[in-house]
Chains A and B, each alone.
Chain A
């Protein structure tokens, strides 16, 4: 089982180190860090999450810019260890409110106390914040969350985590508020990450929604919760074929999940009848339900792109995005990126007249153009266009390139540029039409009326338009 657990900073400093079995030779953290930093002859390639060096198996995830690592000497289940690492990160965040180097260092005694309850002799015991509460006696020391960079969608991608932390919730589940009294509230976030690939002609090649219903409860007394979803929700595609005919199936409005799974606290007794989930939410943040949809849906953005030759060493790029959602929804910051041919030297941009809150950039190092649109300007139904003029080098590239340009220019440009990819977050919008019809808290008291937050968020996962 697990021999050691450690957390390293991005620079390789030990933040937490716990040896459970004393069987791994000294220096494992250093060996790990060197291996990860210089995977594959110090190229920029990322190390796989599971590898073996000299008989020691290293399993790691990156959370909040930190390496969470376990080592083992035996043939165990790596998915168990990876899940465990994610869970340790989450439990720690539940306790500390925020998860970063600073909070871990300030609370190292609490963290060690947690680790001793979570893992015994290398065997995971419990990762439920709720259960752990009765064994943990240290109290967290809060770090100032205000100084932290906001946990935007970009931060989420850096963590490589699907289960985005409750957007603004950075308070500990155990710490009492300065005022002394805890605020009764519960957060339910429906987070959907969508992946769409458009072909060059704008046709949708693949589309997928990875959804999570995430909950974070600060309710005292752990009352039972009823969470009602769409009544016409159905699970499993009929037939084994990969083509579907939705119109004939259930009137087009029904939500069909390909597959879903639930947190262990969820009772599904009445789920088949009225699509209601019953649960007693444990403390801390957890995913009530994960689901996956490949049913067709209306992508929130249409992207059109065009690259045309304009003279021997020039090309013109036109990028157009249209927000295909209702006008009362506004998307957060959008980033549109497009790789350009490697022999591009300069790019000049032309935004539509009167454009506000937009900026453009040519990233020379990574050879791509970038277009940022600020929150205010992406109202549903709006459309935006960017034109960019690319100038290619003449001298530095050999004859082959010039020749290639002359002979094959139209085809080559589309091969060497693109695809366009988009990154965005749209609050209070979800693509799947999955809804929480109601959220009921079963606690009989007239005065008891906790805050209930049901929030929808749609984020781009892999949103790509090919040229």
Chain B
């Protein structure tokens, strides 16, 4: 290649597109390649060159890899916006996936996986299947990742075509790169599915540990992170894992080191031998410290993790405090984290060194850092009783420099020290009072006022000092006002003389009449009441002894800490937040549901919903924005409200709906209340795939609704049309929209009894036969504690209305036993035995059915019928 690529950016004149078109169709190879480069250049700067689609695709059939790659790059970008034309590329893709050159084979599947267009995806399956078994590891490792891509587009397809199994087979591949990618793909698929897909067994464990030694640094991280989810069976296994992982601590890649540390920490929980644990701690220290020699960005991540590790296992780095001393050229974010760890590691042994450092930091330029350093001195004083005095003398030294913000910060921490060690260091109050006039930050002011109030009896001119603050009472921030109020009350209780009495009058007046802050007013009223009714009681309340404080700032509670330690070396351990707090991607089973909802929201609604649902819709993610509103179904469906169905607020509009059965036909009984000021029309509805394959049997017919009007519609439904795979559940995800309002999603429940057929009645003999023929482990029973049978006959009649048919009954002691049957489509029978005492709460329901999976849903339905 000759010349500069940047020349392709230069031509921006009119007529560029026709010009490019001509060049793309040139008979000369080089000219075509140059033209494609120009197209890509235009594309990368955001110009729309989608109109050249056909011409670019025409260049795809070439032996020249450089050119082919360019065309592929173009396709990835524009296929979504030209789904119909994208089909033109399919032939070449499929041909390429069988090319003798492994690079071309891999390139073809890799690129097809990136094009989220139905028509391409359809054709991806066969090549992918071949490539997963390709002879060339480069092709296999590309195919492994491609499975994850396909899962993201169409999870069902992946499961149906057995790609998950193929992927699991790749864990045993002889190429470590392939293993690593298979692990990464499986981990991602597992993350987006609630079903267990990728579970590490002791067999896979040993394979992964072997692959670990040979694969690239990135692959090592994938494997280590998957291993971190493995729970060792016993101590021996834990020790074995640790032993195999420990050499990773020597890796030059910090991510590998941190992931290894995570595993070792987790497995250490199981290891009981203190010697082994001590030894491991010793081994982890140098690599952790070495992380601090890396780039500052990595240091930051390492420090955030170390912060967690030292909270759990302080011994690991107890002797390494020096490495956390700040360097003058550390970025501020690194300095701040180091300071935090220094406080955590400070001990009686090293406190002198640490204080010397803090003192130095307190005179640096960066204001935030200086403040934090001053605060750190105070926190050490609170943490280490024996060092408190030395800390205070350092603080006093700093106060004497009279740098305003240092003084203020020092006063704030000294207040805490007074709280921690009452009646110990009051001698320094005089020094503090010298700086009174310079205080201008609310927190510092409030702290100083607290000190004056708390020690009013020992400060000769406490009343004068407080009075000087009182002059500006109305202008002070609430924080200071509250402290002034309390301090004045304390002063008055300690020195009930004339001066303080006048002050208290003024303050109470100010704080009750002249304020609109309810906190201040309420506190003032309480004091006022107390003082006027029983001054002794007031003393007991206001001057009561305070509980001792400890330094718990930035200390995490132990359950959160454990949670975070399990997430060492992830973003979670950097933010110090559990993953749920910032990862918005939700787990659902099965995943495809989410996608389709999102898609439906984008593509607009099909007038015939039954088709709209199944036409599996990834093409719709072609929209310009990739951000889609994703409904988050609750982990367990909400309990079904008795007969009202689910209520869903639309502004002030209400939808209520439920599945019902009428004359052997299932309907979705849905009613709308228009609470808006507008006429609502154009209602449409769509159902997500569900266990029973419930879908609309026709369009939703709701007449235009005037404001305030309501409407009701019985939408005929079809069932068992498009069944979502996975464990049965009763979740029904519904989306409703109209022309005026945004799309509304809600979760309904499918009451199973709507499927109970009119043909469910069984003869006594066939019932008995069926009962006997089913093995005992097909029998389940459940107690409905809240249900009451008040009359046998009424119950039989009520259940018969829902197609649960009575067969026989008998008496057993004081209880009645009823035998009944029901049947759902596909001939699945339920043989039921209900045991209850009339009028007494508690119905025992036993059931035998060949279809065990449905039992939970069956019980749900019965319970609701018996309510």
Please give the residue numbers on chain A whose beta carbons come within 8 Å of chain B beta carbons, in ascending order. Answer: 1, 17, 21-26, 45-50, 52, 55, 57, 60-61, 72-80, 82-84, 86, 105-110, 112-113, 116, 120-121, 123-128, 135, 137-139, 141, 157, 160-162, 195, 197, 205-206, 208, 210, 236, 240-242, 258-264, 287, 289-290, 292, 294, 339, 400-401, 404, 408, 411-412, 415-416, 419, 421, 461-462, 464, 466
Contact = CB atoms under 8 A, between A and B. Distances in A.
B571 A50 contact: yes
B570 A55 contact: no
B145 A82 contact: no
Contacts of A161: 295
A135 B103 CA distance: 7
10 contacts: A23-B626, A47-B333, A49-B296, A49-B297, A60-B297, A78-B574, A121-B148, A141-B5, A205-B356, A260-B250
B289 A258 contact: yes
Contacts of B410: none
B720 interface: no
A157 B574 contact: no
B626 A160 contact: no
Contacts of A121: 113-114, 145-146, 148-149
B222 A290 contact: no
B225 A74 contact: no
Given A52-B582, A415-B401, A290 B218 contact: no
A123 B679 CA distance: 50
Interface string B227-268: 000000000000000000000001111110111000000000
A456 to B, nearest CB: 18
A461 B329 contact: yes
A261 B571 contact: no
A77 B255 contact: yes
Interface in B512-571: 567, 569-571
Interface string B308-346: 000000000001101101011111110000000000000
B217 interface: yes
B44 A400 contact: no
Contact of A462 (B322, B329, B625): B329
B584 A123 contact: no
A46 B332 contact: yes
B214 to A, nearest CB: 10
A93 to B, nearest CB: 15
Contacts of B319: 240-242
Contacts of B177: 125-126
Contact of B300 (A49, A128, A461): A49
Interface of B: 1, 3-6, 9, 37, 40-41, 44, 65-66, 69-70, 73, 103, 110, 113-114, 116, 141-142, 145-146, 148-149, 152, 177, 181, 184, 188, 191, 216-218, 221-222, 225, 250-255, 257-259, 282, 286-287, 289-290, 293-298, 300-302, 319-320, 322-323, 325, 327-333, 356, 360, 363, 365-366, 368, 400-403, 438, 567, 569-572, 574-575, 579, 582-585, 621, 625-627
Which of B69, B146, B293, B627 has the most C-beta atoms of chain A within 10 angstroms of its own C-beta?
Answer: B293
A462 B5 contact: no
B326 to A, nearest CB: 8
Q: Which of A23, A47, A79, A241 has the most CB of B within 10 A?
A: A79
Nearest to A142: B4
A46 B298 CA distance: 15
B251 to A, nearest CB: 6
A115 to B, nearest CB: 10
Nearest to A138: B66
A106 B5 contact: yes
Contact of A261 (B218, B251, B403, B621): B251
Given A135-B103, A139-B1, A236 B286 contact: yes
A74 B585 contact: yes
Given A73-B585, A123-B184, A48 B251 contact: no
| Chain A, interface SS category | mixed
Given A22-B626, A79-B258, A339 B218 contact: no
Contact of B218 (A73, A125, A263): A125
Contacts of B152: 21
Contact of B5 (A45, A50, A52, A109): A109
B402 A400 contact: yes
A195 B327 CA distance: 8
Contacts of B365: 339
A438 B584 CA distance: 55
A77 B332 contact: no
B505 to A, nearest CB: 35
A242 B360 CA distance: 22
Contacts of B626: 22-26
Contacts of A45: 332, 366, 368
A73 B584 contact: yes
A24 B627 CA distance: 7
B396 to A, nearest CB: 12
A162 B331 contact: no
A361 to B, nearest CB: 18
Contacts of B572: 75
